[in-house]
């Protein structure tokens, strides 16, 4: 693949991806990295504007961007000016060279596995989904599922696996992204598994793993509502309850990279049994398996025990919308516990925004007006308005996009800032 292609005409839809970090707010990173990330986030940006945003001389920008062009990472794009009559030299902008690299992102879950292929500019090339039966899989089964799905999505994208520069992989549970270790996951029967290195050996390409909620948070940071925010929280409610937190435009993971486990904070001493093996965890009262368990007991639905959790939850929601008091009380109780969790997030972190994400958010009883009112009552009273809350009822493909963003970070950092630690993403 040539290092530099001729200048292209500007294409529609170059919106950029990655955090929109305010100018002059992050001076600790190498200037070369700042230049590349500003180009990637902007989609298209003239050199003059790039120098102005970064507070450096145009000569410095010219030198660095020429290096990046020769390395095949960015390209010059003809950007017609308003009112341009076609005479004279066209304006030139810089953009990421989309075909320079391709990466895969994959999310493994209790219900389905999803994958995407994106180019170096973050554009979606292909996606695919494989449904699965709930319950933990053996490591061998999990590796087969990963390999099968990657083959399928590569076929859709019409590229070979060997053309991929990296893959990001998200799994629920306790994951150390630096060590590539899964200490516990609801989708994996074994514990303390070095999944990143094992998957890398199986697939023949670099694999980076992370907790799936961190990846949906990365998706919001790179492609969604969090691009322009320095600090925000994402709370996911699906098969479990997860949380991701962005601090100073970067994912915060904690000292041992195992933090932000909101779903496993305790809300009831000696309470309901959680999937993690402990009792009284928040997710044991809010997650889909908790709602299904309550429905089976409160509505005498023992005959539904053989049905999937998704089917049981749809039936429960239909009963609640139809006015069934017991069904409504199940959602109301879960909403109250959710209010406890969200108020703790506010009290601890004071985020600029809280995003409630995940397919389960279509069950609006979980965030009904009384739930938000209860959250307000439980949050400390400061006299200032509470953080706004947005509902994003995305499916698992958004999470796979976050995994792709992780892979893009790894690839670009290895090329531009090799010493940067993954935990800083």
Q: Indicate which CATH number applies to the domain containing 123.
A: 3.30.420.40
The CA angle 294-298-304, to the nearest 5 degrees, is: 75
Exposure b/e, 360-396, CB count within 10 A at least 16 = b: bbebbbbbeeebbebbeebbeeeeeebbebbebebeb
Q: Is residue 175 part of a domain?
A: yes
**Same domain, residue pair 170 and 95:** no
Q: Is residue 293 part of a domain?
A: yes
**Same domain, residue pair 106 and 88:** no
Q: What is the pTM of this model?
A: 0.85
Boundary of a domain, candidates 44, 79, 99: 99
Q: Is residue 87 part of a domain?
A: yes
Contacts of 271 (CB under 8 A, 6+ apart): 279, 280, 281, 284, 285
Please give the chain's pLDDT, 425 residues, in tens.
333 333 333 444 577 899 988 765 555 678 999 999 999 999 999 999 999 999 999 999 999 999 999 999 999 998 766 555 555 566 789 999 999 999 999 999 888 999 999 999 999 999 999 998 878 999 999 999 999 999 999 999 999 999 999 999 999 989 999 999 999 998 999 999 999 999 999 999 999 999 999 999 999 999 999 999 999 999 988 778 999 999 999 999 988 888 898 999 999 999 999 988 899 999 999 988 898 888 888 787 765 666 777 788 888 888 888 899 998 899 899 999 999 999 999 999 999 999 998 777 777 766 778 888 889 899 988 888 889 999 887 777 888 999 999 999 999 999 986 544 444 45
β pairing state of 164-171 and 207-211: parallel
β pairing state of 124-131 and 92-96: unpaired
**Same domain, residue pair 308 and 365:** yes
Q: Is residue 262 part of a domain?
A: yes
**Same domain, residue pair 252 and 330:** yes
- The boundaries of the domain holding residue 48 are 8-99
**Same domain, residue pair 318 and 364:** yes
**Same domain, residue pair 22 and 66:** yes
Look up tokens 């507070």; give the residue.
55
**Same domain, residue pair 310 and 373:** yes
**Same domain, residue pair 251 and 340:** yes
Q: Indicate which CATH number applies to the domain containing 41.
A: 1.10.10.10
Distances (CA, A) of 405 to 4, 19, 70, 218: 24, 11, 24, 7
Q: Is residue 311 part of a domain?
A: yes
Q: Is residue 289 part of a domain?
A: yes
* Structural domains of the chain, count: 3
The whole-angstrom separation of Cα 47 and Cα 94 is 7
Boundary of a domain, candidates 81, 99, 117: 99
**Same domain, residue pair 126 and 88:** no
* H helix intervals, 264-380: 283-286, 288-298, 309-321, 325-349, 369-378
**Same domain, residue pair 339 and 410:** no
Q: Is residue 3 part of a domain?
A: no
> What dihedral angle (degrees, nearest 10) is formed by the CA atoms of 284, 288, 293, 297?
120
**Same domain, residue pair 236 and 369:** yes
The whole-angstrom separation of Cα 345 and Cα 328 is 26
Boundary of a domain, candidates 99, 121, 148: 99
CB 413 within 8 A of CB 167: no
Q: Is residue 121 part of a domain?
A: yes
Strand ranges (E), 97-240: 102-108, 112-119, 124-131, 164-171, 174-176, 181-184, 207-211, 231-237
**Same domain, residue pair 239 and 361:** yes
């Amino acid at each position: 693949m040539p290092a530099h292609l001729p200048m292209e005409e500007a294409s529609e839809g170059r919106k950029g991806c990655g955090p929109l970090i305010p100018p002059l707010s992050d001076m600790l990173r190498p200037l070369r990295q700042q230049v590349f990330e500003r180009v990637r986030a902007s989609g298209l940006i003239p050199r003059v504007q790039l120098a102005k945003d970064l507070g450096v001389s145009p000569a410095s920008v010219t030198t660095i961007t020429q290096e990046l062009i020769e390395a095949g990472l960015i390209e010059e794009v003809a950007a017609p000016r308003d009112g341009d009559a076609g005479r004279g030299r066209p304006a030139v902008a810089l953009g990421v060279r989309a075909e320079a690299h391709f990466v895969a992102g994959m999310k493994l879950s209790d219900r389905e596995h999803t994958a995407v292929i994106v180019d170096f500019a973050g554009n979606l090339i292909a996606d695919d989904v494989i449904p699965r039966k709930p319950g933990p899989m053996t490591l061998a089964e999990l590796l087969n599922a990963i390999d099968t799905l990657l083959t399928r999505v590569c076929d859709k994208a019409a590229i070979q696996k060997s053309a991929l520069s990296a893959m990001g992989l998200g799994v629920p549970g306790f994951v150390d992204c630096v060590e590539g270790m899964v200490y516990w996951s609801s989708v994996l029967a074994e514990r303390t598994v070095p999944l990143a290195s094992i998957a890398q050996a199986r697939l023949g390409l670099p694999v980076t793993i992370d907790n799936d909620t961190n990846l949906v948070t990365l998706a919001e940071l790179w492609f969604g509502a969090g691009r322009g925010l320095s600090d925000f929280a994402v709370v996911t409610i699906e098969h479990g309850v997860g949380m991701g937190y962005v601090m100073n435009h970067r994912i915060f993971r904690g000292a041992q990279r195992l933090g932000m486990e909101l779903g496993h904070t305790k809300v009831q001493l000696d309470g309901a049994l959680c999937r993690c093996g402990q009792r009284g965890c928040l997710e044991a009262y809010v997650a889909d398996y908790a709602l299904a368990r309550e429905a089976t007991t409160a509505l005498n639905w023992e005959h539904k025990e053989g049905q999937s959790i998704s089917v049981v939850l749809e039936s429960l929601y239909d009963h609640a919308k139809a006015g069934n008091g017991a069904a409504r009380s199940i959602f109301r109780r879960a909403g109250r516990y959710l209010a406890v969790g969200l108020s703790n997030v506010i009290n601890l972190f004071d985020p600029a925004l809280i995003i409630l994400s995940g397919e389960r958010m279509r069950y609006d009883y979980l965030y009904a007006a009384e739930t938000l009112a209860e959250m307000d009552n439980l949050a400390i009273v400061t006299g200032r308005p509470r953080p706004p809350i947005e509902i994003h009822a995305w499916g698992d493909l958004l999470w796979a996009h976050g995994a792709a963003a992780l892979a893009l970070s790894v690839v670009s950092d290895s090329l531009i800032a090799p010493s940067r630690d993954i935990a800083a993403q």
